[in-house]
Amino acid sequence: MNAVHTTPLNLDWAWKQRNNTVASVLDELTLPFQGDIQTGWTKAHSFPSEIHIELLKAELIPDPYRGFNEHKVQWIGDVEWLYRCSFHFEKIPQHEHAILEFEGLDTVCDVYLNGTQILATFNQFRTYAYNIPLPEGQNPLLQETNTLLLHFKSAKLLAKAEEAKYGKVRAGSTNLGDPSRVYVRKAQYDWRLVRLLCGTSLLVANERCVRRWDWGPELMTVGPYRAITLKTFAVRINEVHPRAYLSFDQVSGKPFPVLKVDITLDGNINPNAVHSLDIVLKATAGKEIRKQRLLLQKHVIALNDAVSWDLGLDDVKPWWPVGYGEQTLYDVEVYLLGPNEEVVDTQVKRTGFRSVQLIQETLSDADQYGTGTTFLFEVNGVRLFIGGSNWIPADNFLTTVTEERYRAWLTLLRDGNQNMVRVWGGGIYEPDIFYDICDELGILVWQDFQFACEVYPAHDEFVASVRKEAEENVKRLRHHPALALLCGNNEDYQMVLQWGDVKELPARKLYEEVFPEVVAALTDPPIPYHRGSPYGGIGWDTADPTVGDVHQWNVWGGKELPYQEFDKLGGRFVSEFGIPAMPDMRTITYWMDGADKAEWYAQSKLMAQHTKAGSFERRFAILMNENFRLTADLETHVFNTQLMQAEALGYAYQVWRRAWGGKCKEYTSGVLVWQLNDCWPVVSWAIADYFLRPKPSYFAIARQLAPLTINVSRTVIKNRANDRPRQYYEFGAMQSHDANLAIWGTNSTLTAQTVTLELAFYDLKSSWTHHESRVVELLSNQATELYALRCPGPPQDGMQPPSGDPVWTPSYSVVASARLLDAHGKVLARVADWPQPYRYLAVPDPRLSLQVEGERIVLSVGRPVKGLWLSVEGEGSEVSWSDNALDLVPNDPQIVTVKGLGSRQLRVAYLGKEQASMI
């Protein structure tokens, strides 16, 4: 039997706490399967495994996600843990090689096989492999019955030991202010990452700030969190690297697909063991497109360009990001054949044909920031406006994130009209299934190397480990057509600039030497590399809005500006910005865990436990008080935070997409919100909470990223130039004089669209309305300014004021609605612009009408309504809405499709009626 034999080691696992009274860790193998967790072994609930989950399943700890239980489980990260399994091995005579492979050990682990230590691991992000000798004589390391022992040590203790060895560094406030985490290659969010942020826009290098905020608990995870396998062989395929891409004819400019395949082998390469390789390109449906056989030469283990095929578009189709074409994928199958053409080993890599470039070229025309350069993605020769989200790990306990859960999250992102996800540098390199799903759904991936918000070291041992980490993960991910960018770090340059007292960033060696070397050596055509996020200007300037990308935190954090200032706070690519909001009331109920009703208020201890944002009460108060009426009712407060987040984030996407102005005017080419998801139930910046329940902001963003949009900008003319902060109007010492409206649309399709623009105006204080329409053209793949007008309003009552006093116009109570219609009257896009701030508005009864027709809900109103939120009464499966958090105006019914409603009754809430009720 010459074929490669693979044995997953996923059975018969057990765990226990290390008992320090036992002299040798090996002596603990003889302890029984009983007693407490120090004196006996407990069978593992599942594998891969994480110790918190095992303890939870064994009912030995409370749920860390409920109540104050996070504080009751801190001891877990301070002690050591053991895992063991037994497995059978039967040697195959022809097999001369055995490899024990560990895809993920978290984090500091000594590995013993039958009493012999074979590995000492200290990097969660690496795959470790041990070549086991298979001698013919006595006492082989692998026996018929084998015991594998994993001894996990405290990452905290290693961090402190490394800090004592190399020195304390300046770092973000983490784990009670302890910066030693930088020395351990472990997911940084496990250490309860608290991010130090000043506003990054217009940031001066010597500004100081101590603005703390974060979103996750401190849960120091431990365990074999990814697969462990034993492989035996005489010869095997070590790696297949398919390089599938689109090339462009230099004369005609037409694209043509190219496939090149590199292959490395491992083992005894001789005619008695192997004969040839078959390389096959197949459609995912199984149709064979091309095949080639290569005869193997003795001792040749690396075949670069084993095949190099120029293909036609009749043979294969390009892979496109969502919204621009099909996500056509192909399988590259490689078969290693023996002397009798029997299959010895097989590898299959799924890939797609596409080209991707990061275009940073000089802008010839200036915008409000000046000229500078673009920062845009071009895929298959098409320049794209990027709209997407930042991604953090979907759970503190990674073994609980199933394929189904990954697919649900990424499908939610895709269905929200987003085309990019940024895998943030403080989490993990996600497992293969994450990137497979991105390929399938057409979601581009911005992948950070796993460094975030600190001054990391660069001593030789550390750099060597990180180089291996980078090489392994680039090799693992490079064949995915979704992979669009590799980025050196998150905010490390920015931290140094903000602190002002750190003279050097040692990890520049990683970001400016190691990572670009690895990416250049291992990707062909090269995957774009960006040394840090944010990064761009002269002298590491991370806040220059004309170069590179920016993180915009001057709203909520930093300068704490009103969100209505987002139109002044953009950049060439906004890769982070956000505003938090409370999650669904059911999620709050989960973490409140039956608490006394006296704790059910916004500033209670339990709310603070699940609101990790530093100074959240003050920061919420600033934005909430500027925009909404004060309330002591928790449900009303929850609704208002959600509406505020939706209004703010929707406005940011609206105004920044407006700056996608066509060739040479790509002033803003992408917006990534912080953040898509949560790692536990919490009040955070996420646009959908831990349980995959979208907040209103999710729908507001989806509408702003639709292929066609229409938007209204209201500029209030005030009677004094020195009016208070730039709101839409004020009722203090000053009053509005007039209001001008600008109407624009966006079109992400590659064809210009001729449509009808309909405008309708409604007064919130009377029955006055006004309507007008015109035919307009939306230019392709850009924003188009369509129309400018003075905001109509109802007739004024009474006499004109005396000379010198303001001329009062009632636009302060007028809702401006705009729609785009096709030639058949179908609504292609709509928007309603309301006067602000909302705290001043006397909202009329909308006279809401709601009709349920199977999975269709038809909504209509007699008066305008803001932020109509649909939910259901009663227990059952989660309900999925095609749209929600709606603004409606009269004579414009909207249809929402709903899945999972069943016989449950609908509930509604909206501005002015924030407590949901059945209808």
pLDDT digits (tens, 9 = 90+) for 877-907: 899 999 999 999 999 999 999 999 988 999 9
Tracing tokens 């070229």 back to the chain, one arrives at 361
Confidence of residue 501 (pLDDT cuts 50, 70, 90): confident
Report the pLDDT value the prediction gives residue 801, as an integer from 0 to 100: 53
Question: For residue 421, is pLDDT > 80?
Answer: yes
Report the pLDDT value the prediction gives residue 552, as an integer from 0 to 100: 96
Confidence of residue 210 (pLDDT cuts 50, 70, 90): very low
Where exactly are the structural domains of the chain?
Answer: 5-157+223-228, 236-351, 366-704, 706-842, 843-919
pLDDT in tens, 250-276: 888 899 999 999 999 999 888 888 999
pLDDT above 90 as % of the chain: 79
pLDDT, mean over the chain = 91
Report the pLDDT value the prediction gives residue 641, as an integer from 0 to 100: 97
Bridge pairing between strands 195-196 and 108-113: unpaired
Confidence of residue 204 (pLDDT cuts 50, 70, 90): very low
Query: Which SS3 state, helix, strand or coil, does residue 812 take?
Result: helix
* 619 or 41, greater pLDDT: 41
Tracing tokens 């390929």 back to the chain, one arrives at 439
Distance (Å, rounded) from C-alpha 524 to C-alpha 540? 28
CATH of 706-842, one of 2.60.40.10, 2.60.220.30, 3.30.428.10, 2.60.40.1730: 2.60.40.10
Question: For residue 306, is pLDDT > 50?
Answer: yes
Distance (Å, rounded) from C-alpha 353 to C-alpha 258? 8
* Greatest distance between any 2 Cα atoms in the chain: 110
Question: For residue 161, is pLDDT > 70?
Answer: yes
Catalytic pick among 70, 103, 333, 491:
491
Question: For residue 369, is pLDDT > 70?
Answer: yes
What are all long-range contacts of 27-33, with beta carbons under 8 Å and residues at least 24 apart?
A: 28/82, 29/84, 29/147, 29/149
CB 403 within 8 A of CB 686: no
Tracing tokens 């030991």 back to the chain, one arrives at 161
Question: The tokens of 497 are what?
Answer: 């600039």
Confidence of residue 208 (pLDDT cuts 50, 70, 90): very low
**Catalytic (active site) residue 491:** yes
pLDDT in tens, 782-813: 999 999 999 998 876 544 555 555 556 668 88
Q: Which of 62-66, 183-187, 661-665 has the highest mean pLDDT?
A: 62-66
Overall average pLDDT of the 13-41 stretch: 94
Distance (Å, rounded) from C-alpha 270 to C-alpha 367? 65
Q: How far is CA 252 from the centre of its chain?
A: 38
**Which of 61-65, 269-273, 609-613, 800-804 shows the lowest per-residue confidence on average (mean pLDDT)?**
800-804
CATH 2.60.120.260 fits 5-157+223-228, yes or no: yes
What pTM was computed for the model?
0.95
Question: For residue 197, is pLDDT > 60?
Answer: no
Report the pLDDT value the prediction gives residue 731, as an integer from 0 to 100: 54
Cα angle 822-823-827, degrees, rounded to a multiple of 5: 30
Report the pLDDT value the prediction gives residue 137, as an integer from 0 to 100: 61
Query: Which SS3 state, helix, strand or coil, does residue 114 take?
Result: coil
Report the pLDDT value the prediction gives residue 196, as an integer from 0 to 100: 35
Q: How many helices (H) and strands (E) does the chain have?
A: 13, 45
Confidence of residue 503 (pLDDT cuts 50, 70, 90): confident
Distance (Å, rounded) from C-alpha 639 to C-alpha 582? 8
- Residues with Cβ within 8 Å of 68's Cβ and at least 6 positions away in sequence, in order, are 605, 606, 609
Q: Provide the 10 A C-beta neighbour count for residue 150.
A: 24
Report the pLDDT value the prediction gives residue 733, as an integer from 0 to 100: 47
Cα angle 298-301-306, degrees, rounded to a multiple of 5: 100
* 216 or 842, greater pLDDT: 842
pLDDT above 70 as % of the chain: 92
HSE of 912 in the Cβ direction (CA atoms, 13 Å)? 15
Report the pLDDT value the prediction gives residue 441, as an integer from 0 to 100: 98
Question: The tokens of 886 are what?
Answer: 């709606």
Confidence of residue 643 (pLDDT cuts 50, 70, 90): very high
pLDDT in tens, 565-581: 999 999 999 999 999 99
Measuring CA to CA, which residue among 491, 204, 563, 550 is closest to residue 372?
Answer: 550
Q: Provide the 10 A C-beta neighbour count for residue 548.
A: 25
Asked whether this chain's domains 366-704 and 706-842 adopt the same fold, the reply is: no
Report the pLDDT value the prediction gives residue 819, as an integer from 0 to 100: 98
**Which of 172-186, 602-616, 627-641 shows the lowest per-residue confidence on average (mean pLDDT)?**
172-186
Distance (Å, rounded) from C-alpha 154 to C-alpha 59? 23
φ, ψ at 877 (rounded to 5°): -70, 160
The fourth-level CATH superfamily of domain 843-919 is Immunoglobulins (2.60.40.10)
pLDDT in tens, 686-731: 999 999 999 999 999 999 999 999 999 998 877 666 655 555 555 5
pLDDT in tens, 1-12: 689 999 999 999
CATH of 236-351, one of 1.10.3720.10, 3.40.30.10, 3.40.50.300, 2.60.40.10: 2.60.40.10
Cα angle 522-524-527, degrees, rounded to a multiple of 5: 80
Report the pLDDT value the prediction gives residue 203, as an integer from 0 to 100: 36
pLDDT in tens, 735-769: 666 788 999 999 999 999 999 999 999 999 999 99
pLDDT in tens, 338-364: 999 999 999 999 999 999 999 999 998
Q: Which of 601-610, 617-626, 701-710 has the highest mean pLDDT?
A: 701-710
CB 215 within 8 A of CB 679: yes
Confidence of residue 133 (pLDDT cuts 50, 70, 90): confident
Question: For residue 418, is pLDDT > 60?
Answer: yes
> DSSP states of 856-880 as a string?
EEEEE-SS-EEEEEEEE-SSSSPPE
Report the pLDDT value the prediction gives residue 207, as an integer from 0 to 100: 34
pLDDT in tens, 515-569: 999 999 999 999 999 999 999 988 888 999 999 999 999 998 888 999 999 999 9
CATH number given to 366-704: 3.20.20.80
